[in-house]
Chains A and B, each alone.
Chain A
Amino acid sequence: MVIIEAKGLTKEFKIFRRREGVVGAFRDLFTRQYQVLKAVDNIDFVVRQGELVGYIGANGAGKSTTIKMMTGILVPTSGHLQVNGFCPHRNREKYTRGIGVVFGQRSQLWWDLAVIESFRLLQRIYRVSEVDFQQRLHRFEDILDIGDYLHLPVRKLSLGQRMRCELAAALLHNPTLLFLDEPTIGLDVLAKANIRDFLKEVNQTLETTIILTTHDLGDIEALCSRVAIIDQGKMLYDGSLDQLRAHWGEDNLEEVVKDIYQGQQPPGVKGWGE
């Protein structure tokens, strides 16, 4: 079953170009120069149920923008996008019932509330039954090891502890689709391993479809059989991890990705990046 279908998905931003110096700043007050930036440029992307897709690209390549369109936050400039049978931004309030989202760089728990209170609030927001809630909570307590700090306010948690809670929070309503935007950013080795194991289990037992962006290729190697690479808004590669390695004749994923980010072509492969 197709969960995400994007055709020709494009997002442009109008960027205000500042002129240099005092004179420039003064001129900017009256006439502004704008520049159109294509953050996401004509992307085709199909994800089927139960897939775990790694979505990578250099800083500013357009990963987060894609995720934000798919989660209904940003409105695409053009192209077709259907997720879970919805047009995300148009039916945002209904659509978001069926998805979970974690932004590694932002917290979506209530800063001053105890973790468990945040969970309770989410239970109400997503109308999760008490039985389901308890069952899922126990399960997350076990695998993510968050039982000890459920009663601490979120602001007192370490980044690793908080990120585990964010994951649990994103999954309390058992979404069919989970978006993770750099969920392992800034975490130590153990916390990373813990989160990877958890994601693997969620993906396998609950058949949750997962889209994961990351700069840590360890995440990709541990979790994803499929990887999509975006560069300057364009989809460069979308396929299996094994094939990517085969294309480049290189087993070390980090080396492959470095070459790609530098704009190199794989040796002897036609049609790369088209």
Chain B
Amino acid sequence: MLAYRATYLTGIFNYTIQIGAYFFLWQAVYENQGRLGGMAQEEMLTYVIIAWVARSFYFNTLDRTLSDEIREGQIATELIRPYSYQWAKMARSLGEGLFRLLFFTIPGAVFIYFLHPFGGPAGWTVGVLFAISLMGSFLINSQINLLVGYLAFFTLSTSGILRAKRVVVDLLSGLLMPISFYPLWAREIIEYLPFQAITYLPNMIYLGKLEGLKAIKALALQGFWFVVLLMMSYFIWRLAVRKLTIQGG
């Protein structure tokens, strides 16, 4: 279990650097500014911290795992098992996510809190809604990763696509900055995409900017995107398995 201690520790280090960098960046941006994109400075700093802390839970490398398994033919050893490939992969990622949540996300958040106290969720209801929306982030992010991983069925050179996907998700999910910072035309497009449901909507729930019915609506939107993506990945899977070739004998 501790064979990957180094990975674990560098992971913590990595997240500290990321959060630290964005933290100071936004501090500098807010210098002599009142509100930007509808957010005060403290809200923005909380946003950054929560966005990265949440990411340590929902993040996974399913896209690369799938792509590698398909490219190297290792998928054969999964197909001989009496389970659904995609659900088994999701379950495994959820396990990893819960592990990180307990040993990484929560200790990390406490650590950061001592460095710079940030606002908690406004009340229990908000906390619970946020927790549910985190699960939504995980489901949507995993489905997107599955879909991108499946591209390896159709093209064997996937590394560029994987990198592009990562940038797109970081940018359009609201991890790098809140969607409210984008120009109006961009916001209108982003609202019709599933990515904002990964970071932006959960964070808005956390900050109390989506309350009551609006918060429920955000959760429903997450549910909608999950179902749509799930249907897409089922469809592509069925199509791809028929054409499957096992690489390397």
Q: When chains A and B are docked, how far (Å) is the Cα of A160 from the Cα of B245?
A: 28
Contacts of A72 in B (CB 8 A): 79-80
Check if A108 is an interface residue, CB within 8 A of chain B.
yes
> Majority SS of interface residues in chain B?
loop
Known: A13-B245, A75-B241. A125 touches B82 (CB 8 A): yes
Contact present for B244 and A74 (CB under 8 Å): yes
Q: When chains A and B are docked, how far (Å) is the Cα of A103 from the Cα of B76?
A: 9
A223 to chain B, nearest CB (A): 22
Known: A13-B245, A75-B244, A106-B74. A153 touches B3 (CB 8 A): yes
Check if B186 is an interface residue, CB within 8 A of chain A.
no
Contact present for B81 and A125 (CB under 8 Å): yes
Check if A214 is an interface residue, CB within 8 A of chain B.
no
A78 to chain B, nearest CB (A): 13
Contact present for A73 and B80 (CB under 8 Å): yes
Q: When chains A and B are docked, how far (Å) is the Cα of A187 from the Cα of B246?
A: 24
Check if B77 is an interface residue, CB within 8 A of chain A.
yes
Check if B73 is an interface residue, CB within 8 A of chain A.
yes
Contact present for B82 and A93 (CB under 8 Å): yes
Contacts of A106 in B (CB 8 A): 73-74, 76-77
Q: When chains A and B are docked, how far (Å) is the Cα of A241 from the Cα of B79?
A: 33
A87 to chain B, nearest CB (A): 13
Contacts of B80 in A (CB 8 A): 71-73, 96, 99, 101, 108
In the complex, number of A-B residue pairs with CB atoms less than 8 Å apart:
52
Contact present for A112 and B82 (CB under 8 Å): no
Q: When chains A and B are docked, how far (Å) is the Cα of A73 from the Cα of B242?
A: 9
Contact present for A73 and B82 (CB under 8 Å): no
Q: When chains A and B are docked, how far (Å) is the Cα of A69 from the Cα of B74?
A: 16
Check if A203 is an interface residue, CB within 8 A of chain B.
no
Interface residues of A in 61-90 (CB under 8 A from B): 64, 68, 71-75, 89
Interface residues of A in 1-46 (CB under 8 A from B): 13
Minimal Cβ-Cβ distance residue in B for A99:
B80
Known: A103-B76, A106-B74. A74 touches B246 (CB 8 A): yes
Check if B10 is an interface residue, CB within 8 A of chain A.
no
Q: When chains A and B are docked, how far (Å) is the Cα of A74 from the Cα of B80?
A: 11
Minimal Cβ-Cβ distance residue in B for A74:
B244
Contact present for A96 and B81 (CB under 8 Å): yes
Contacts of A126 in B (CB 8 A): 82
Interface residues of B in 22-48 (CB under 8 A from A): none
Residues of B in contact with A (beta carbons under 8 Å apart): 3-4, 73-74, 76-77, 79-84, 241-242, 244-246, 248-249
Q: Other CB < 8 Å A-B pairs besides A72-B79, A96-B82, 12 of them?
A: A64-B249, A68-B246, A73-B79, A73-B244, A75-B241, A75-B244, A96-B81, A101-B80, A103-B76, A105-B249, A126-B82, A153-B3
Query: 7 A–B contact pairs at CB < 8 A?
Result: A68-B76, A72-B80, A73-B246, A74-B244, A99-B80, A105-B249, A126-B82
